[in-house]
Structure 1
Amino acid sequence: MRRRDVIIHLGGAAAAWSLAARAQERPRIPKIGIIIPRSALAAIDNVTAFEDGLRQHGYIEGQSIAIVWHYADGNYDLLAAVVDEMLSAGATLLVVGGTTPAAIVNRATSVTPIVFVGVTDPIGAGVAQSLARPGGNATGLATAHEEAYARKSVELLKEALPWASHIALLYNVANPFNVNFLREAERVAPSLRVRIDPFEARTAQELDNAISAISGKRPHAVIVATDPFLAGRVKEIVTATTQHRLPAMFGFREYPLAGGLMSYGANLPDMYRRAAMHVDRILKGAKPADLPIELPTKFETVINLKTAKALGIEMPPSLLVRADEVIE
């Protein structure tokens, strides 16, 4: 079993790092605790990209750096305790993905350096004072505001389906940025002549209920907000939308790769790869307070043409030409 596939629980960090230290003869290597908001399976591309980034900067897990991974799978109740365990075990630096997890980790320590990935509005989330000079112990990579994602998602879906006037929106009501996503989608909807019908899902049972309710309402299409809990259930959501013949727009490319219709969003693996650079700079003496927060350099539109054909949808050539990836 690969080290990254081990999910730590309370009491696990010290043991894992102790084993890593005994496995090599240089005990004074940096110790990094990494909190991934999704499941190990759902996050594999992001984790692989981060590991590649570390190798590019000369870090080899178990040799020049010790790492303990924690996969939250969208459940954040134990994160504060997990952070405490990592800090007690001597973490040199913490890496955390996602807005809510980053806020929890940032509240847990004001001393240990933090590198965050994929945080929406770091200032609003309370993890930085400004993008140019974060000012505290945290820096990293931010995504665009949820409002921008929502607006673009509705616009692209409407372009793909000009006849669509009723769009269901699946979101996690416990995620405040999903709530902002919903508000912006509802705000822009009238100008595009569509109606947004929201459906909440923050647990597996609520997701089942939401899917059943959506199929009963028979909307013309579905938008799934970007959320770790929902992203961890890619296969389930894609299967449901396909079975009910619902064209769906997502925020991660994993969805169209799994058979969903299309997605728009930041390239998360690229962001995780770049996060390794922040880790390297901090380990070499840079202060998070002085390292500017980066914004995405890659936004991508991915379209699954096979799914479009199966749904009887003829995608506009103008949209296909602009897409970053078309799955045929």
Structure 2
Amino acid sequence: MRPTRIAFAIVTALIVFLAGGSPEAQQATKVPRVGFLNPVDRSAPHFEAFRQGLADLGYVEGHNIAIEPRFAEGQYERFPDLLAELVRLNLDIIAVTGAVTARAAKKAVKNIPIVFAVVVDPVADNVVANLERPGGNLTGTTSFDPQQAKKQLELLKEAIPGFKRVALLGDQGVSEALIKASEAEAQAMGLQTLRLRVAAPNPDLEGAFAVFRQEHADALLILEEPVVGVHAKRIAELAARDRLPTIFAPSRVGAGGLLAYGTSQVESIRRMAVYVDKVLKGANPGELPVERVTPYELIVNLNTARDIGITMPPEVLKRADRVIQ
């Protein structure tokens, strides 16, 4: 073979190698594309938890994974359009948070795997048929603990002298599973209950707090549900104005409530990233059991305690994972 032909063959082989070689090799280097749909806004910790979960598994955005995030900002009616937009992007998988989001995705997306997190009861919420074998194209994680409400109420009893009546604030757009569980626990502890569920996208929070004042609520338990999550800061402000002690879920600690306690949504979403990884590597989502994630967090806000005239017992402070002051 002439030297010029040899040189040409070497250059050609080098170009093919750098370009990825065969079609099979090019396919092997394809960057997976992941959609992320959240019912609230980007300021919530969910998306960053998801990104961190993927980073912990070695995924680097722009290098070996692409993420397409979308946020409904508490407006559930946007789900069909947002999901249609994600489907058009030819994604490999879609990650969603919340039961309402998961149900919308289940209805709209048939040929793309879906992984969910922050669903109270995936079976009762009609997201999957079975926790052990979800079936279809969905699986995920849940951070629901049936004992969470009891522990939250016990904390309120420790922190508030003469605590007798608790208001429960939830979201009309989700199932009653969580508010019923909280109500039952309160009544079992001998507490009087006042339940109120508000509607997206513009809940009547002033009206809700007027009811709390009229009914002389001693404390407010804010459920870990979408619309009250979106408006958590405003809820905390109204509660502080009325000197009403509050307990939120840990994901809403930044709202400024008195206490935050419960299973960690952040950890549940980080675990959702593990399921995304498994599906991207070939696992069938319908055969992956739904995982229950239950690490607890207790956060005490001493700034809010001072503002509303509460002296936090030392025993509660000792158990806190974090104290804001």
TM-score with structure 1 setting the length: 0.83
What secondary structure does 2:118 align onto? strand
Q: Tell me which moved more, 117-126 or 77-86.
A: 77-86
- Check 1:305–1:253 CA distance in 2 against 1; reply closer, same or farther (3 A cut): farther
- Runs (5+) with no aligned partner, structure 1: 1-24
User: Counterpart of 1:267?
Assistant: 264
Q: CA deviation at 1:162?
A: 4.1
Matches within 5 A, 1:100-111: 100-111=100-111
Q: Distance in 2 between matches of 1:68 and 1:190?
A: 44
Q: How many residue pairs align between the two structures? A: 298
Matched, 1:173 2:172: yes
1:31 pairs with 23, 30, 33, which one? 33
User: Counterpart of 1:245?
Assistant: 243
In 2, are the aligned partners of 1:59 and 1:65 still within 8 Å (CA)? yes
User: Counterpart of 1:155?
Assistant: 154
What secondary structure does 1:211 align onto? helix
> Deviation per CA, 1:6-51, whole angstroms, max 9, x where unpaired?
xxxxxxxxxxxxxxxxxxx99942222110111112x2x2222211
In 1, are the aligned partners of 2:133 and 2:286 still within 8 Å (CA)? yes
Q: Distance in 2 between matches of 1:259 and 1:120?
A: 24
In 2, are the aligned partners of 1:158 and 1:192 still within 8 Å (CA)? no
User: Counterpart of 1:16?
Assistant: none
> Deviation per CA, 1:143-182, whole angstroms, max 9, x where unpaired?
215x533333223212322411122222222321xx2333
Q: CA deviation at 1:93?
A: 0.5
What secondary structure does 1:292 align onto? coil
Q: Distance in 2 between matches of 1:191 and 1:128?
A: 30
Q: Distance in 1 between matches of 2:96 and 2:68?
A: 12
Q: Distance in 2 between matches of 1:183 and 1:259?
A: 25
User: Counterpart of 2:119?
Assistant: 119
What secondary structure does 2:68 align onto? strand
Matched, 1:229 2:227: yes
- Check 1:81–1:258 CA distance in 2 against 1; reply closer, same or farther (3 A cut): closer
In 2, are the aligned partners of 1:170 and 1:224 still within 8 Å (CA)? yes
Q: Distance in 1 between matches of 2:58 and 2:112?
A: 22
> Deviation per CA, 1:267-290, whole angstroms, max 9, x where unpaired?
122222222221111111111122
In 2, are the aligned partners of 1:199 and 1:214 still within 8 Å (CA)? no
User: Counterpart of 2:252?
Assistant: 254
1:211 pairs with 203, 209, 213, which one? 209
Q: Distance in 1 between matches of 2:188 and 2:161?
A: 13
1:286 pairs with 283, 286, 300, which one? 283
> Deviation per CA, 1:111-168, whole angstroms, max 9, x where unpaired?
31111011111122232233233222111111215x5333332232123224111222
User: Counterpart of 2:71?
Assistant: 71
Matched, 1:183 2:180: yes
What secondary structure does 1:119 align onto? coil
Matches within 5 A, 1:25-64: 28-41=30-43, 43=44, 45-64=45-64
- Check 1:155–1:161 CA distance in 2 against 1; reply closer, same or farther (3 A cut): same
Q: Distance in 2 between matches of 1:168 and 1:90?
A: 45
- Check 1:92–1:158 CA distance in 2 against 1; reply closer, same or farther (3 A cut): same
How many percent of aligned residue pairs carry the same amino acid? 33
* One-letter code aligned to 1:222: L
> Deviation per CA, 1:71-116, whole angstroms, max 9, x where unpaired?
0122211312322232232121010000111111112233311110
| Larger Cα-atom Rg | 2
User: Counterpart of 2:296?
Assistant: 299
What secondary structure does 1:164 align onto? coil
What secondary structure does 2:268 align onto? helix
User: Counterpart of 2:312?
Assistant: 315
Q: Distance in 1 between matches of 2:135 and 2:187?
A: 40
In 2, are the aligned partners of 1:252 and 1:265 still within 8 Å (CA)? yes
User: Counterpart of 1:6?
Assistant: none
In 2, are the aligned partners of 1:226 and 1:252 still within 8 Å (CA)? no
Compute the RMSD of aligned alpha carbons.
2.3
- Check 1:302–1:54 CA distance in 2 against 1; reply closer, same or farther (3 A cut): same
> Deviation per CA, 1:38-70, whole angstroms, max 9, x where unpaired?
1112x2x22222112222323222332222211
Q: Tell me which moved more, 215-224 or 112-121.
A: 215-224
Q: Distance in 2 between matches of 1:94 and 1:251?
A: 25
TM-score with structure 2 setting the length: 0.83
* One-letter code aligned to 1:236: R
Q: CA deviation at 1:216?
A: 4.0
Q: Distance in 1 between matches of 2:273 and 2:137?
A: 16
